[in-house]
Structures are given as C-alpha cells and as structure tokens.
Chain A
Amino acid sequence: DTGVSQDPRHKITKRGQNVTFRCDPISEHNRLYWYRQTLGQGPEFLTYFQNEAQLEKSRLLSDRFSAERPKGSFSTLEIQRTEQGDSAMYLCASSSQPSGTGNTIYFGEGSWLTVV
C-alpha cells in the first residue's frame, strides 16, 4: 500500500494560466475524491468518482474546473484561467466502495497552488 500520491506538491502560477494536478489513489480503491482547503478552513468537497464515472460535483466546482479519471485509476484536476481566489491546497483522497458498514477515506499530501 503506497498511499495516495499527488503531483506536483507545489505550484506557483500567474493569473490566467492553466494548471493541472494529478492524483494516484491507493491501488484497487474505486472511489476517488477531490477536496479544496484554504487557510484556516477545513477541506471542502469538490467532486468524486466511482471508477471512471464522476458522480457528484460541488457548486464550488465552477466551469473553469474540470476533473477526469479516464481509466478508473489516476485522476487529474485542471483549473483554467486561474484566479487569485483559486490559491489553496487541493487534496485528493481515495476509498474502497462502502460495504454497508462505512469505509475509510485516505488522503494524499495535497497540492499547494499559489496564483500570483
């Protein structure tokens, strides 16, 4: 079990540029989640996938944000035309499908985005 891996860990970009983050979940976890965390706040849910299907998107996920999980393994989160308000840590997490008794969601180390 290698844990949830995220890349890059840090990204500084100019306003208006596009950025992409990658997440590799724990192998055989079929659920993958993206969260956003700003300073002084708890993580906020953005979206989740079950296998390759994106099953829910938060209202926080504006049309500048897009997430994919093309083969049900790794996932990418792209932010187009970045704004300073996008500066945050983007957390990826994964879990196995609940068996009726709940399951545990494991988080990666996060990808820090700074928009200047």
Chain B
Amino acid sequence: AQSVTQPDIHITVSEGASLELRCNYSYGATPYLFWYVQSPGQGLQLLLKYFSGDTLVQGIKGFEAEFKRSQSSFNLRKPSVHWSDAAEYFCAVGVMEYGNKLVFGAGTILRVKS
C-alpha cells in the first residue's frame, strides 16, 4: 500500500537559517510527489510538485525539493527561513490508479525562532 513518512513531528530553526524537511514514500510505480503547507485553521496550499523530469523542483516562497528515487525520498529545503514560514508542512504521494488521490504524511510542524 502507498504510504508517506515524515520522520520529524516538530522542527525548530532560527530565522535566516537553512531548513530541510524529510519525506520518504512507499509506492510501487513512478510517484507523483507534492509538498503542501498549512497555516493553523486553514486549508492546504501547494508549495511544489514533482511529476517527471528534473529531480530538483522549485516551488513558491523560495522552497525547493529533490526527488531521489534510490532513497525513496522527496525532501523539502529552503536556504533561509523567514518567520512567516512557521506552519505545518505535508508531503503527499499521488496515487494515479485511484483518480490521483493523495496519500499524506502526518506532517511536520515548523517553528521559527527570532
């Protein structure tokens, strides 16, 4: 069965420091991978997506993610974190056989220290 693991429940970084959020997936075929961000009480906003091609994808708000098939990973990175980046981040895999429904990880809460 498809699954997504986000090993870190909480991460705290200082403003201006670099960030890496980890995501590992389990999926039998070529995955479609997504990162979403959610502010408290709000819906999900798409940060970036990987479908095929270049394994380093750029997203909004200065985020990027790298797909590594050999490690079944799709880690999210940002070189310099801003206080407004504090939110919860979800990694998801798209299951094409079932209408491209998304299977989400449990999320990583990012706290930013000033």
Q: Is the CB of A95 within 8 A of B100?
A: yes
A9 to B1, CA, bound (A): 33
Does chain A have a CB within 8 A of B28?
Answer: no
A44 to B32, CA, bound (A): 17
Q: Which residue of B lies closest to A46 (CB)?
A: B101
Q: How large is the interface on A (under 10, 10 to 19, 20 to 34, 35 or more residues)?
A: 20 to 34
A101-B52, A102-B51, A102-B94 given; A45·B43 CB < 8 A: no
Q: Is the CB of B100 within 8 A of A43?
A: no
A98-B96, A110-B42 given; A33·B101 CB < 8 A: yes
- Which residues of B have CB within 8 Å of A67? none
Q: Is chain B's interface secondary structure helix, strand, loop, or mixed overall?
A: strand
Pick out which of these stretches binds chain A: B12-20, B68-76, B78-86, B103-111: B103-111
- Which residues of B have CB within 8 Å of A43? 44, 90, 102, 104
Q: Which residue of A lies closest to B90 (CB)?
A: A42
Q: Which residue of B lies closest to A58 (CB)?
A: B101
Which residues of chain B from 34 to 90 have a CB within 8 Å of any chain A CB?
34, 36, 41-46, 49, 51-52, 90
Q: How many residues of B contact A (CB 8 A)?
A: 27
Does chain B have a CB within 8 A of A72?
Answer: no
A55 to B97, CA, bound (A): 12
Q: Is the CB of A48 within 8 A of B99?
A: yes
- Which residues of A have CB within 8 Å of B100? 31, 95, 98, 102-103, 105
Partner-A contacts on B (CB < 8 A): 4, 32, 34, 36, 41-46, 49, 51-52, 90, 92, 94, 96, 98-107
17 further A-B contacts with Cβ under 8 Å, apart from A31-B99, A105-B94, A107-B43, are: A35-B102, A41-B107, A42-B90, A42-B105, A43-B44, A45-B101, A56-B99, A98-B96, A101-B52, A102-B32, A102-B51, A104-B46, A107-B45, A109-B43, A110-B41, A110-B43, A112-B41
